[in-house]
């Protein structure tokens, strides 16, 4: 469990020692933030914290922390439940409780809590305290602050400290996880309520609160200017407490922690911090722009020859890296303040956030940041000869001596993000609309449109320079334009006034928003294209394009069919509309209704009805009259394919008449035609058919009835690889789960060409070809036979070694389909597939990182493993281990295919020894399978192995168990314990040394390093013990009956503690004083030691010799009341009542059951009957505890083992040992691997003695029976 403080800064070290301190700080959980510069000495403090985190917490320290925690929680309860509660005092008490928890949470994970001290900690108790504290604090949301302004202001520093919520982490299986989660929840609630308190104080006393939190913090300046780095600029006068609040807002919180950020944002706005950062951002940006104007004016002055900036010295009148970084923080803070509530955004807009942000956007363009982007590396200060371009000294370009262009571009990125936040934050639709209109009137739209038309970095010489720098600069510019486009989209949504403003040019000679966005559609960046398309749709550009397409088509058809300009205009309109419908996938998960939303908007504008008629434009005007008809047809097919990407639009497109037009295009451009236009039209038409028919069986049938399959088959013979691939993809879609289409594709003669394509070296071509063949043969035996007769087997096997993973996957699937057949004539192909070299590449695919490849390879091997000869071949090629590894996968299909393949391999006796040597039995029994069919398959495999382990196979396994290496011996011994019959197990583990292997495996000192082997051994030993017990009781019932107890004299129930005829009274001054009236006759058969006890504790009586007066025996120093009553109940009735349950916090008797305490007494005074009865009762307690959690059961088990050893209770220690074997996994989770090894070493001799004695009795009895019957000893093998 580690604690991370988000308010700490990032260390920048230059020496090895400082780097070591930084690593220690990171190990301590101190996060770094690029936004905040660390105070001096923070690395040393972090290293000190790391040392404190690992210092041992003694029992005394833990007790002190627990006392402190209890006091803090009590104080919190007192404060929260007061008649007039004070929110400030409640937060201070909660913060104290959190501080008391923190060292405990950290110490539990890093081992700082000693073993002795850990006994004081209770997970449930700690969780209850943390949960109670959180519940108390959560009810203070409506509490008021105190009336004393002085006290409230004095508490501000502690409230700000309470904002530094620590972050706790722990492993899911940690038994203290609930406590850690509760402590984390308390920390978040404390931070939230502290922010609420700060907000209420700021509202009650605005000036005083501002004065307190803005206490100036001196920031040291760099006295010696480094030639490689600008000196530090003095920070603003903003105080340290405000910086802590901003640091909390900058943290990357979990979604459930958003309430904390909202509360902090409320507090900062109440402190008017938004006005401060807006003013500072505006002031700096305006000053830099004005100074740039001054430099440009001086550029024309011939007298100004020298540079205005001196190399290595920062002039604060112009941008520098450190100040620009502060401007970035201010811009981000504006966005963070407005992110949570629409009301916050309204306040920021009213305070001038829009003007401040758009002014900041003008700085980069005013200093030519984008033109100079990439001039130099980070930290490099070039001279005049190193600069790119011809810029005169003394101009704004000299600023790059102290400021990187990239810094200003990153400022633009953050500014655009904040504008997006203000435009899209919460509130009603009317409130959002009003806010967006207000920001547009303030000029935000002009600044955003200028950001859409940024110059691109020159990457032409990227191959001669460092590749990362030009690509990184281009990605940065793309990010700026993307965020600007997102802001334009939000601003223009459902706001006609804003749309009109954006459609106007921002200046003379500058483009409007639509023109700039259309240019962005051509960028090779999916995110930029997506953002630009969204903005254009928000501006209703898709509706204008649809209207333009209809209008231009009408002009071409009716007025001027030979006008090249009209054809070019129509082509561009269709292309742009298609780009709007492209809808590239988002990097963030989207709700189902939001996916492909742009396609829905384009279709809703009647784009389908406008584009489909373009497919027949050549027919309408005559094929020879159109100068660019092919280009228009290509773009129309491309657009239809994009619009058909959603299933609910496919039928609309088909009903509009797209299929006849597409089929006509496929027929018009046969394979033998050449040129650039014809192949591209055929390819786009085939792609459109593919998208239209995707998972739409009615449209597949309509394609067939329209005659679309023959031209697609004909296109397989084209010389253009792209057209060939598109035709194969369309045939693949049409053949999927459509028998009529399959038949026609085969009858049209597609198989020979498809097989040729499988042999192609182009991965795209053979991938589509093998996919078509796979769909054709699916659930169709006669097509499968025909495909094999055409010679498809060897080319498909060859694809298993292809560099294209998709082709390998499809080839493996197809081979599995070839091997899955009910036709006896095709069974020979299973053998041929293996003979022709398919097994080895399939096994190699099992080890691939891509899950689909592994799944298909396991599928194919599982089908091939249904043949006897193939089964041996797969095992011989080392296919067993990767199949076993797939059982550990989290994917259901992978598990099932692997289980089915293993089931097939187990059918051959020759494979069984190898399967068992590999540890298959253990992995099958211990695997966590998700699907029930997989579990059934594993059970059938184990059953099959159990049937095969006999005769020759069993003899060989026993031979291997004696002669192979140690690991194999252990795997075989464990497997035989689960698979062999009872008689076989007796011989294997008694006479062949199997028991020694299991016991050594279970109690080895290295068991903590190999817990799985220890678990397997425990399960095997318990299985053997149960089988031997069953065998003994079944064959020799008399031996299974326990020996009778020692004869006792029992009296009737009415004599129990009855003063009548009582001649001996036992009494005690403890437990409130008690007496028991007994009878001497009841102690006739009690041991002499017990009679001596009575004689030793008799009370001297003044009336000696009077037999009418009962003898009095003082038991105060001997037994407690319940113990003595249990003893007497056994003496009188022959049993004891065990009615109590074992819990962590038992009664006042120390948590020990009555039988456990009486056992010690019975052993001491040689009461053998009571001793055996107590053993039986403790065994029953162990049995009844099986459904309980591990902790109390493990404690009782270890105590019982120790007690049984002291009392020579052989039956009890045997029962405890068997119980430990049966519940090994639970015990290991409870006490850990090391303690489990110690426990195993403690009980191993008792397990050995029990099993050896049982097997010896079985062997002796069997030999006696065979001698009596005159039969020689059998060989169970």
Question: pLDDT by residue (tens digit) across 690-736?
Answer: 999 999 999 999 999 999 999 999 999 988 899 999 999 999 999 99
Q: How far apart are CA 978 and CA 982, in angstroms?
A: 10
Express each pLDDT in 35-48 by its tens digit.
333 333 333 333 33
Residue 771 pLDDT greater than 80, yes or no: yes
Express each pLDDT in 5-44 by its tens digit.
333 333 333 333 444 444 444 443 333 333 333 333 333 3
Please indicate whether residue 177 or residue 338 has the higher confidence score (pLDDT).
338
Q: How confident is the model at residue 1170 (pLDDT cuts 50, 70, 90)?
A: confident
Q: In the prediction, which pLDDT does 1241 show?
A: 86
Residue 404 pLDDT greater than 70, yes or no: yes
Q: In the prediction, which pLDDT does 705 show?
A: 94
Q: Counting every residue, how long is the chain?
A: 1277
Task: Using DSSP bridges, classify how beta strands 1074-1078 and 1111-1114 pair: parallel, antiparallel or unpaired.
Answer: unpaired
Which of 431-440, 818-827, 1151-1160 shows the highest mean pLDDT? 431-440
Please indicate whether residue 1032 or residue 852 has the higher confidence score (pLDDT).
852
Please indicate whether residue 521 or residue 1184 has the higher confidence score (pLDDT).
521
**What is the average per-residue pLDDT within 72-81?**
88
Our CA angle for 679, 681, 687, nearest 5°, is: 100
Say which range, 124-133, 331-340, 643-652, 1132-1141, has the weakest mean pLDDT.
1132-1141
Residue 145 pLDDT greater than 80, yes or no: yes
Q: In the prediction, which pLDDT does 118 show?
A: 65
Q: How far apart are CA 710 and CA 691, in angstroms?
A: 18
Q: How confident is the model at residue 1043 (pLDDT cuts 50, 70, 90)?
A: very low
Q: In the prediction, which pLDDT does 150 show?
A: 86
Q: How confident is the model at residue 643 (pLDDT cuts 50, 70, 90)?
A: very high
Q: What is the DSSP string of 621-639?
A: H-TTT-TTHHHHHHHHHHH
Q: In the prediction, which pLDDT does 808 show?
A: 92
Q: How far apart are CA 1186 and CA 10, in angstroms?
A: 52
Q: How far apart are CA 329 and CA 838, in angstroms?
A: 61
**What is the average per-residue pLDDT within 79-99?**
88
Please indicate whether residue 1196 or residue 601 has the higher confidence score (pLDDT).
601
Q: How confident is the model at residue 378 (pLDDT cuts 50, 70, 90)?
A: very low
Angle of helix 342-350 relative to helix 258-270, nearest 10 degrees? 30
**What is the average per-residue pLDDT within 552-563?**
85
Residue 516 pLDDT greater than 70, yes or no: yes
Q: How far apart are CA 613 and CA 670, in angstroms?
A: 22
Task: Using DSSP bridges, classify how beta strands 1074-1078 and 1064-1068 pair: parallel, antiparallel or unpaired.
Answer: antiparallel
Q: How far apart are CA 1008 and CA 1238, in angstroms?
A: 10
Q: Where are the alpha helices (DSSP H) in 35-86?
A: 42-53, 59-80
Express each pLDDT in 44-72 by its tens digit.
333 333 444 445 667 778 788 888 888 88
The H-or-E segment that residue 1111 falls in is strand 1111-1114
Q: In the prediction, which pLDDT does 41 show?
A: 37
**What is the average per-residue pLDDT within 1058-1070?**
85
**What is the average per-residue pLDDT within 418-447?**
86
Q: In the prediction, which pLDDT does 3 show?
A: 35
- Integer CA distances (angstroms), 539 to 166, 437, 511, 571, in order: 46, 14, 15, 21
Return the percentage of the chain with pLDDT > 90, whole number.
22
Residue 1210 pLDDT greater than 90, yes or no: no
Q: What is the DSSP string of 470-493?
A: HHHHHHHHHHHHHHHHHHHHHHHT
Q: How far apart are CA 650 and CA 382, in angstroms?
A: 59
- Return the structure tokens found at 1240: 């195993």
Residue 743 pLDDT greater than 90, yes or no: yes
Contacts of 675 (CB under 8 A, 6+ apart): none
Please indicate whether residue 580 or residue 259 has the higher confidence score (pLDDT).
580
Contacts of 418 (CB under 8 A, 6+ apart): 331, 332, 334, 335, 338, 353, 357
- Measured over the CA atoms of residue 436, residue 442, residue 444 and residue 445, the dihedral's sign is positive
Q: Residues 354, 444: contact at Cβ < 8 Å? A: yes
Q: In the prediction, which pLDDT does 1134 show?
A: 75
- Return the structure tokens found at 1079: 């009878």
Q: In the prediction, which pLDDT does 1104 show?
A: 55
Q: In the prediction, which pLDDT does 398 show?
A: 63
Residue 315 pLDDT greater than 90, yes or no: no
Q: In the prediction, which pLDDT does 390 show?
A: 38
Phi, psi of 504 (to 5 degrees): -85, 145
Q: How confident is the model at residue 1149 (pLDDT cuts 50, 70, 90)?
A: very low
Q: In the prediction, which pLDDT does 43 show?
A: 36
Q: Residues 938, 924: contact at Cβ < 8 Å? A: yes
Say which range, 410-424, 1135-1149, 1221-1235, has the weakest mean pLDDT.
1135-1149
Q: How far apart are CA 286 and CA 357, in angstroms?
A: 11
**What is the average per-residue pLDDT within 741-751?**
94
The H-or-E segment that residue 1067 falls in is strand 1064-1068
Express each pLDDT in 1171-1180 by its tens digit.
788 888 877 7
């Amino acid at each position: 469990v580690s604690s991370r403080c988000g308010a700490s800064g990032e260390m920048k070290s230059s020496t090895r020692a400082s780097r070591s301190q930084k690593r220690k700080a990171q190990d301590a959980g101190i996060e770094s933030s690029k936004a905040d510069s660390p105070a001096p000495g923070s690395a040393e403090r972090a290293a000190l914290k790391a040392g404190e985190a690992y210092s041992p917490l003694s029992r005394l320290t833990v007790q002190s922390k627990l006392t402190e925690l209890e006091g803090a929680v009590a104080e919190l309860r007192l404060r929260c439940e007061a008649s007039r509660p004070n929110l400030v005092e409640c937060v201070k008490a909660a913060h104290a409780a959190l501080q008391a928890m923190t060292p405990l949470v950290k110490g539990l994970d890093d081992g700082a809590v000693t073993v002795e001290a850990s006994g004081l900690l209770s997970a449930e108790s700690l969780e209850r305290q943390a949960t109670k504290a959180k519940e108390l604090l959560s009810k203070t949301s409506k509490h008021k602050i105190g009336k004393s302004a002085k006290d409230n202001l004095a508490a501000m520093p502690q409230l700000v400290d309470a904002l530094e919520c620590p972050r706790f982490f722990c492993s899911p299986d940690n038994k203290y996880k609930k406590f850690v989660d509760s402590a984390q929840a308390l920390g978040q609630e404390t931070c939230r309520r502290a922010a609420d308190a700060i907000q209420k104080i700021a509202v009650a006393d605005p000036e005083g609160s501002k004065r307190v939190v803005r206490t100036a913090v001196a920031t040291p300046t760099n006295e010696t200017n480094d030639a490689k780095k600008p000196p530090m600029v003095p920070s603003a006068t903003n105080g340290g407490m405000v910086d802590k609040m901003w640091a909390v807002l900058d943290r990357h919180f979990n979604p459930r922690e958003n309430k904390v950020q909202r509360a902090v944002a409320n507090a900062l706005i109440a402190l008017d911090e938004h006005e401060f950062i807006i003013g500072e951002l505006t002031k700096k940006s305006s000053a830099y722009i004005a100074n740039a104007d001054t430099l440009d004016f001086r550029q024309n002055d011939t007298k100004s020859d020298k540079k205005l900036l001196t190399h290595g010295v920062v002039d604060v009148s112009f941008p520098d890296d450190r100040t620009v970084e502060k401007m970035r923080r201010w811009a981000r803070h504006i966005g963070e303040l407005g992110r949570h509530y629409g009301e916050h955004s309204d306040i920021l807009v009213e305070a001038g956030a829009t003007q401040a942000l758009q002014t900041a956007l003008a700085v980069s363009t005013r200093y030519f940041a984008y033109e100079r982007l990439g001039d130099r590396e980070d930290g490099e200060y070039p001279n005049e000869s190193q600069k790119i371009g011809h810029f005169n000294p003394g101009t704004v370009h000299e600023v790059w001596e102290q400021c990187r262009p990239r810094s200003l571009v990153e400022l633009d990125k953050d500014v655009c993000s904040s504008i997006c936040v203000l435009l899209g934050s919460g509130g009603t639709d009317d409130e959002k609309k009003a806010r967006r209109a207000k920001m547009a009137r303030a000029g935000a739209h002009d600044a955003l449109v200028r950001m859409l038309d940024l110059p691109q970095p020159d990457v032409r010489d990227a191959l001669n320079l460092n590749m990362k720098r030009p690509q990184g600069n281009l990605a940065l510019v793309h990010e700026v334009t993307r965020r600007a486009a997102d802001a334009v989209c939000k601003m223009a949504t459902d706001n006609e006034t804003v749309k009109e403003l954006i459609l106007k040019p921002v200046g003379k000679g500058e483009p409007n928003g639509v023109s700039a966005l259309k240019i962005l559609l051509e960028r090779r960046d999916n995110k930029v294209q997506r953002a630009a398309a969204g903005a254009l749709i928000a501006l209703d550009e898709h509706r204008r394009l649809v209207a333009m397409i209809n209008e231009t088509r009408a002009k071409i058809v009716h007025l001027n069919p030979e006008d090249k300009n009209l054809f070019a205009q129509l082509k561009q309109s269709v292309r742009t509309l298609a780009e709007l419908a492209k809808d590239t996938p988002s990097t963030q998960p989207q709700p189902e209704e939001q996916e492909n939303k742009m396609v829905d908007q384009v279709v809703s504008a009647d784009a389908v009805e406008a584009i489909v008629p373009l497919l027949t434009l050549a027919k309408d005007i005559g094929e020879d009259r159109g100068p660019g008809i092919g280009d228009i047809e290509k773009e129309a097919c491309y657009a239809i394919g994009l619009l058909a990407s959603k299933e609910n639009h496919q039928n609309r497109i088909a009903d509009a008449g797209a299929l006849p037009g597409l089929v006509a295009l496929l027929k018009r451009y046969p394979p033998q035609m050449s040129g650039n236009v014809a192949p591209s039209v055929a390819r786009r038409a085939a792609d459109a058919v593919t998208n239209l028919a995707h998972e739409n069986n009615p449209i597949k049938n309509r394609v067939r009835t329209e005659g679309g399959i023959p031209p697609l088959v004909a296109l397989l013979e084209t010389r253009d690889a792209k057209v060939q691939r598109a035709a194969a993809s369309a045939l693949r879609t049409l053949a999927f789960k459509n028998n009529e289409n399959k038949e026609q594709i085969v009858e049209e003669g597609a198989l020979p060409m498809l097989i040729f394509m499988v042999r192609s070296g182009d991965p795209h071509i053979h991938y589509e070809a093998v996919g078509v063949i796979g769909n054709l043969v699916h659930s169709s035996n006669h097509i499968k036979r025909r495909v094999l007769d055409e010679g498809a087997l060897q080319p498909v096997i060859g694809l298993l070694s292809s560099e294209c993973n998709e082709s390998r996957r499809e080839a493996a699937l197809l081979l599995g389909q070839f091997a899955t057949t009910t036709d006896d004539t095709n069974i020979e192909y299973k053998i041929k597939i293996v003979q022709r070299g398919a097994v080895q590449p399939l096994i190699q695919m099992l080890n691939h990182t891509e899950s689909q490849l592994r799944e298909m390879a396991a599928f194919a091997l599982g089908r091939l493993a249904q043949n006897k000869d193939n089964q041996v071949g797969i095992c011989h090629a080392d296919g067993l281990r990767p199949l076993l590894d797939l059982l550990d996968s989290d994917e259901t299909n992978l598990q099932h295919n692997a289980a089915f393949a293993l089931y097939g391999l187990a059918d051959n006796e020759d494979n069984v020894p190898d399967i068992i040597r590999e540890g298959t039995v253990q992995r099958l029994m211990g695997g966590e399978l998700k699907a029930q069919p997989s579990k059934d398959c594993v059970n059938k495999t184990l059953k099959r192995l159990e049937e095969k382990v006999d005769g020759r196979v069993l003899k060989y396994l026993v031979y291997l168990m004696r002669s192979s290496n140690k690991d194999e011996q252990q795997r075989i011994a464990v497997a035989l314990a689960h698979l062999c019959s009872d008689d076989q197990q007796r011989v294997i583990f008694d006479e062949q040394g199997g028991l020694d292997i299991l016991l050594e495996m279970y109690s080895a000192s290295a068991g903590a390093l190999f817990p799985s082997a220890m678990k397997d051994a425990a399960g095997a030993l318990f299985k053997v013990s149960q089988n031997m017990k069953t065998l003994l009781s079944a064959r020799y019932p008399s031996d299974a009956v326990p020996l009778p107890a020692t004869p006792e004299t029992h009296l009737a129930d009415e004599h129990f503690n009855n003063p009548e005829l009582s001649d001996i009274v036992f009494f005690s001054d403890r437990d409130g004083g008690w007496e028991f009236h007994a009878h001497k006759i009841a102690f006739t058969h009690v041991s002499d030691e017990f009679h001596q006890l009575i004689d030793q504790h008799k009370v001297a009586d003044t009336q000696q010799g009077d037999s009418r007066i009962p003898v009095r025996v003082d038991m105060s120093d001997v037994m407690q009341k319940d113990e003595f009553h249990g003893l007497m109940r056994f003496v009188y009735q022959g049993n004891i009542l065990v009615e109590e349950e074992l819990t962590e916090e038992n009664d006042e008797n120390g948590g020990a059951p009555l039988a456990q305490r009486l056992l010690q007494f019975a052993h001491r005074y040689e009461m053998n009957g009571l001793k055996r009865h107590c053993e039986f009762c403790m065994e029953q307690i162990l049995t009844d505890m099986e459904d309980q959690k591990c902790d109390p059961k493990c404690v009782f088990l270890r105590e019982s083992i120790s007690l049984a050893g002291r009392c020579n209770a052989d039956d009890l220690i045997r029962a405890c040992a068997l119980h430990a074997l049966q519940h090994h996994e639970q015990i290991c989770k409870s006490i850990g691997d090391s303690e489990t090894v110690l426990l195993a070493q403690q009980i191993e001799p008792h397990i050995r003695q029990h099993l050896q004695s049982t097997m010896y009795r079985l062997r002796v009895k069997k030999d006696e029976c065979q001698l009596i019957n005159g039969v020689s000893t059998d060989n169970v093998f």
